[in-house]
Structure 1
Amino acid sequence: MEADELEMANLNKAIYEDNWFEAKAFIDRHPKLLDVDFGASRGETPLHTAAKFGHVAIVEELMKLVEPEYLEIWDYYGYTPLATTATHTESIPIAKCMIKKNSNALAIPAPWPWLIPVSLAFLSGHNKLGRYLYSVTPLEVFKPENGSFVGPEFLRTCLRNGEYGIALQLLQQCTELLFAQDADENSTIANIALSLPHSLHKSQLPFLKRWAYHWTGLRHWLLSSVYNLSGMKEIYKMKLQHAQAAEILNLLCPNILMLLNVEKRNMIRIALNCAAQQDNAEFVLRVTKANPELIALVTSVCLNYPVFVITAVEYRKAAVFSLFLCRHFQIMAAATPAKMRAARETGNNLLHLAASLAPDSYLNSISGAALQMQRELQWFKAVESVVDAGYRLHQNKEGLIPIEYFKKNHKGLRAEGEKWMKDTASSCSVVGTLIVTIMFTAALTVPGGNNQDSGYPMFIKEKLFKVFLISDALSLFSSTTSVLVFLGILTSRYAEEDFLCSLPTKLITGLSTLFLSIATMMISFSATIMIMLQYNSLRLWVTLPITMLAGVPVTLFILLQFPLLVKVFSSTYGPSIFKKKVEEWS
């Protein structure tokens, strides 16, 4: 036994070193090393070793010496040689060589019953090899017959890896996979809802990328020449993926026109719920438009609203909730036979759900507790605008109406928002106070002093002096305004409703005037230096560096505080997160 292990170790060492001459010498001396039974008993064959390290030449030589059954041997971990190739390398020549010897290896799973080599290739990130293996794997292997998970698991892998073209092709050839379940009992339609690139819609792209996205569609015949340009490759791939995802939805829609099977109805319910959790509005829109009766079929027994609306409210998914805000879904919701009832267990209606605290994953995406509180209020107000007026006063089992329930759940966030606002106001007011002091002093002690006879400033007729006066006055007035505004923030009552507009508006005003005061203070300082050195021979060498340095504080403010100003302004006065008119994706 020890001799056999030593022989195998020496052979594997030669293969590892890509030394076929020495490996062949071992095999000639010990032919049993390539026997099927011997390889199976050892747990790892020389072919496994050669495949693991991607030695194409040795694999080709071994293929000449072994029987086809040799490709069906599992190693210690349950992998066949082809599965080892799919997992460890991306060598298409090795795969071709093995499949030519025994094509049955394409359907042998490892190490779980649903992981065939093509799935292992995609899971390992070897997409090129995966595409080749898919092209040679028989269609029958993927069919969900006798509860097989191979097809559904392969589709889930393709969807998660962005291989929408392969997923589309397989679904076109085997539509029964749409309602098949994977090993986790998730249906393919649920995996589609979770995985389709809803975030790649062009309206969510930056302006230049959105233009390029549209341009690639208008100039398809030029794609071959611009494919490798910077950024264009990414845009083209994005557009192709979105087109393939749309085709998958187009394939799904005709198959949900008649859903008489209760099991399939539940699958649709779960899929819509998954789509809502991912904010996949496109999936929800396509599916519900294909079969409007689904709205009634997937309506919550307790809340009498579609499950995706309830999920969107609970998880703060703006795109899906926007569908409900548009007239199309309002009519559908109004057409349901019963009136909205409170949930049986808690007594909460849809507005109570909006009054609950959002998940941490959602809140953490928003900067600052005050803006988080503002966004929560915006959600509550949006839901409040669509529910019946009577339910705004409906009490849950705790005896709380929605607004009271909101205040209870957001008590901690309101306190954090108050602290954040006060800390920001305190820090900025200190800066503003310093600027007020400096600029008031500068106004009294003008550059060059005053004329002893007339009392007027010495340089009153100079243009630079006028620049100094105007910038000094602007800096003084704007800094004073900012201090007063920040004082107003410090003395505010900090009620929940104040975070919606009042406090953000004060913060916008304070930061804007503070920025103006800093900028004009630097202009005033630069003008003073120029006035003092205007007749000096070193004027250019001194004033230019000083003027450039004067821009440093302004630049730092822009880099450190201006993004906050933009976020607050956009959140308060920018486009609403809820679209009143939902674009119907095609």
Structure 2
Amino acid sequence: MEADELEMVILNKAISENDLCGAKAVIDRHPKVLDVDFGASRGETPLHIAAKFGHVAIVHELMKLVGPEYLEIWDYYGYTPLATTATHTGSIPIATCMIDKNSGALTIPAQWPWLIPVTLAFFGGHNELGRYLYSVTPLQVFKPENGSFVGPEFLRTCLRNGEFDIALHLLQRCTELLFAVDEDGNSTIANIALSLPHSLHKSQLPFLKRWAYHYIKIPSTPTTGHFCVDIQQEGEDKSAGQGIGLRRWVVSSIYNLSGMKEIYKMKLQRTQADEILNLVCQNLMLLNVQKRNMIRIALNCAAQQDNAEFVLRVTKANPELISLVTSVYLNYPIFVITVVEYRKAAVFSLFLCFQFKIMAAATAAKMIAAKETGNNLLHLAALLAPASYLNCISGAALQMQRELQWFKAVESVVDPGYRLDQNKKGLIPLEYFKKNHKKLRAEGEKWMKETASSCSVVGTLIVTIMFAAALTVPGGNNQDSGYPIFMKEKLFKVFLISDALSLFSSATSVLTFLGILTSRYAEEDFLYLLPTKLIIGLSTLFLSIATMMISFSATIMIMLQYNLSRLWFTLPVTLLAGVPVTLFVLLQFPLLVKVFSSTYGPSIFKKKVEEWP
């Protein structure tokens, strides 16, 4: 092995092991190792190696020995040292050192012309470094001049990573990016439609957290009137090693201590997303053909994500855009077809709010679909929903109920003649629904019967037990009168009432479940009839279990009330009697709530525009 190659191996080992003294010794002996193809097949320089391992001291030492042009060298994979830092370690001190040496490295792309270091940092999940690099990257590099993809690709990465404040900050400074396209040909508005739904809608939170979410206030910056982190100041603080600003640190600490950090983050993202959508709405006037086409695609993207707020606010900002969701466009999925076929309830609710538009949309859908299958909009509602949608609903019976709710909702808004239209298979929508849901109906029947069988066994046991308890009352009967000995005791009255309630409710439960077992299981029965029977059966079964435990506890207390030495035994037994009730609540009560909510709770289809946030 030649001496130079040996020295390079030694230097490589020293850098990887963070041996600053060893690395300096090799460089002092052979300064030319800084100029050669150090990594052989990978084309890496010593600076690339040090940046990859994140060794700050070695990077600082190398910066003293090389010129600014050294930071413009690509390795075999097309990465500069700064791009390597952004991709692998996300070290802010290393990035700061490199930028101080050559700020031009911020604009040198890696691999592809649109992957500059700041984009690579966010793409690799190094958000802290990304925020700092954004604060020092020139605005000019993001502008969509000469067909550059840098700005749109950077915005798409920020939106996907949830860095909405940075996306908002850049869009406020460069609004022309809204209609710029990324490398895949998607406009920024389309990427916004795809990325904002999770921020525009609250998650299903417990009551207290929902209350906290409502009352948390997000401050606005006094300079712009909009919420946006002072990126520049934040970047300077981080580059100086001082962490985030004092105000943000205090707020963050408060919400960490009170367990509200996630709620605050949700509200923060909601506020930022709302500002981005406001910015979109402010730039929807005087649109040319190209921009209108971008808006149409963005609306379709919003429909795919069930982002109703995007659709509502965009069409309110420019009512002429409503025609984009009801017109026929070749080679693109019709808006209303996407909504119905993929079960996007929130967006479909907008059609219920504006029924004068659903007819035009239904006609357009019929024109497109009839070319191949002869299906109208109601036929599309009769198709089986995607598995990803059905898997979010518990139980095949509730899935069947949800499918019927969708079919009835579409049926209520289309022209009555659509109900009798035949497709190319000669099936009207209802027949088509039965054919497509045959397997799901069978699975729903099986699920209902298994649930009813299991619960009816429990109900039958309770009926037997409580009937026997009514005949053999605690303490027995008076031999002369035949009346129970403890007839005048208050606890005995509690026993009688709870025993009677348990007996009657369990008998009702058994009969109800028997009715479920003997039902005909037609498709329309899953809408109200079968769920109602299940609600009655589960409710009465729960009542019978609870009253049975009350009856048992009352019996124990009657038997021990005159024996003071055994009163200590009463409380533990009474508490243990609550265990079956608790288990039932934990295991079965959620099912009862889901069935009741799905059948008689708020509809998944909103009726008024005012209900939207």
TM class by shorter-chain length?
over 0.9
Distance change >3 Å, CA 151–CA 466, structure 1 → 2: same
SS in 1 for 2:569: helix
Matches within 5 A, 1:493-508: 493-508=520-535
Letter of the aligned partner of 1:255 in structure 2? N
Are 1:81 and 2:113 matched, yes or no? no
Contact 1:295 1:333 in 2 (8 A): no
In structure 1, the residue matched to 2:608 is 581
In structure 2, the residue matched to 1:241 is 269
In structure 1, the residue matched to 2:284 is 256
In structure 1, the residue matched to 2:356 is 331
Query: Which stretch has the larger CA shift, 202-211 or 566-575?
Result: 202-211
Distance 1:438 1:39 in 2: 82
In structure 2, the residue matched to 1:360 is 387
In structure 1, the residue matched to 2:403 is 376
C-alpha offsets along residues 376-418 of structure 1, whole Å, 9 cap, x if unaligned? 1111111111111111111111111111111111111100000
In structure 2, the residue matched to 1:517 is 544
Distance change >3 Å, CA 259–CA 219, structure 1 → 2: closer
In structure 2, the residue matched to 1:137 is 137
Shift of 1:40: 8.2
Letter of the aligned partner of 1:137 in structure 2? T
Are 1:57 and 2:61 matched, yes or no? no
Shift of 1:148: 2.5
Contact 1:478 1:517 in 2 (8 A): yes
Shift of 1:240: 2.6
Are 1:312 and 2:339 matched, yes or no? yes
Contact 1:119 1:154 in 2 (8 A): yes
Are 1:489 and 2:499 matched, yes or no? no
Letter of the aligned partner of 1:501 in structure 2? Y
Distance 2:70 2:365 in 1: 65
Are 1:527 and 2:554 matched, yes or no? yes
SS in 2 for 1:396: coil
Contact 1:40 1:74 in 2 (8 A): no
Shift of 1:85: 1.0
1:281 to 308, 311, 329: 308
Distance change >3 Å, CA 486–CA 336, structure 1 → 2: closer
Distance 1:266 1:302 in 2: 10
Distance 1:265 1:246 in 2: 22
Shift of 1:193: 0.4
SS in 2 for 1:538: helix
Distance 1:75 1:410 in 2: 57
Distance 1:335 1:430 in 2: 54
Query: Which stretch has the larger CA shift, 390-399 or 353-362?
Result: 390-399
Query: Which stretch has the larger CA shift, 93-102 or 503-512?
Result: 93-102
Shift of 1:219: 8.5
Contact 1:284 1:320 in 2 (8 A): yes
Are 1:437 and 2:464 matched, yes or no? yes
Shift of 1:475: 0.6
Distance change >3 Å, CA 199–CA 380, structure 1 → 2: farther
Distance change >3 Å, CA 337–CA 439, structure 1 → 2: closer
Contact 1:464 1:527 in 2 (8 A): yes
Distance change >3 Å, CA 521–CA 82, structure 1 → 2: same
Contact 2:396 2:443 in 1 (8 A): yes
Matches within 5 A, 1:38-117: 43-117=43-117
Distance 2:392 2:217 in 1: 33
Matches within 5 A, 1:4-23: 4-23=4-23
Distance 1:338 1:378 in 2: 22
Contact 1:198 1:281 in 2 (8 A): no
Shift of 1:359: 0.5
Shift of 1:77: 3.0
C-alpha offsets along residues 12-41 of structure 1, whole Å, 9 cap, x if unaligned? 222223221221110011111111666788
Contact 1:200 1:238 in 2 (8 A): no
Distance change >3 Å, CA 301–CA 214, structure 1 → 2: same
Structure 2 unpaired stretches of 5+:
222-246
Matches within 5 A, 1:342-421: 342=367, 343=369, 344-421=371-448
Scaled by the length of structure 1, what TM-score is found? Answer: 0.93
Scaled by the length of structure 2, what TM-score is found? Answer: 0.89
Distance change >3 Å, CA 411–CA 338, structure 1 → 2: closer
In structure 2, the residue matched to 1:185 is 185
Query: Which stretch has the larger CA shift, 203-212 or 213-222?
Result: 213-222
Distance change >3 Å, CA 302–CA 426, structure 1 → 2: farther
Distance 1:516 1:8 in 2: 81
Shift of 1:467: 1.2
2:498 to 446, 471, 476: 471
Shift of 1:425: 0.1
Letter of the aligned partner of 1:232 in structure 2? M
Shift of 1:64: 0.6
Distance 1:249 1:158 in 2: 15
Distance change >3 Å, CA 293–CA 36, structure 1 → 2: farther
Shift of 1:445: 1.2
Distance 1:41 1:368 in 2: 57
Distance 1:419 1:302 in 2: 43
Distance 1:523 1:209 in 2: 34
Letter of the aligned partner of 2:32 in structure 1? K
Shift of 1:205: 4.6
Contact 1:36 1:70 in 2 (8 A): no
Contact 1:439 1:475 in 2 (8 A): yes
Shift of 1:200: 4.1
Contact 1:511 1:565 in 2 (8 A): yes
Distance change >3 Å, CA 37–CA 103, structure 1 → 2: farther
Distance change >3 Å, CA 188–CA 380, structure 1 → 2: same
Query: Which stretch has the larger CA shift, 511-520 or 331-340?
Result: 331-340
Letter of the aligned partner of 1:444 in structure 2? L
Distance 2:33 2:26 in 1: 9
Shift of 1:265: 3.1
Letter of the aligned partner of 2:281 in structure 1? C
Query: Which stretch has the larger CA shift, 44-53 or 360-369?
Result: 44-53
Query: Which stretch has the larger CA shift, 476-485 or 38-47?
Result: 38-47
Shift of 1:340: 6.9
Distance 1:336 1:75 in 2: 54
Shift of 1:302: 8.5
Contact 2:326 2:357 in 1 (8 A): no
Shift of 1:337: 12
Distance 2:611 2:46 in 1: 57
Are 1:269 and 2:296 matched, yes or no? yes
Distance change >3 Å, CA 63–CA 306, structure 1 → 2: closer
Distance 1:240 1:11 in 2: 48
Distance 2:134 2:162 in 1: 15
Distance 1:369 1:584 in 2: 30
Distance change >3 Å, CA 199–CA 119, structure 1 → 2: closer
Contact 2:38 2:44 in 1 (8 A): no
C-alpha offsets along residues 274-293 of structure 1, whole Å, 9 cap, x if unaligned? 11111111111111122222
Aligned residues: 582
Shift of 1:306: 9.8
C-alpha offsets along residues 332-366 of structure 1, whole Å, 9 cap, x if unaligned? 45578978744221111111111111110110000
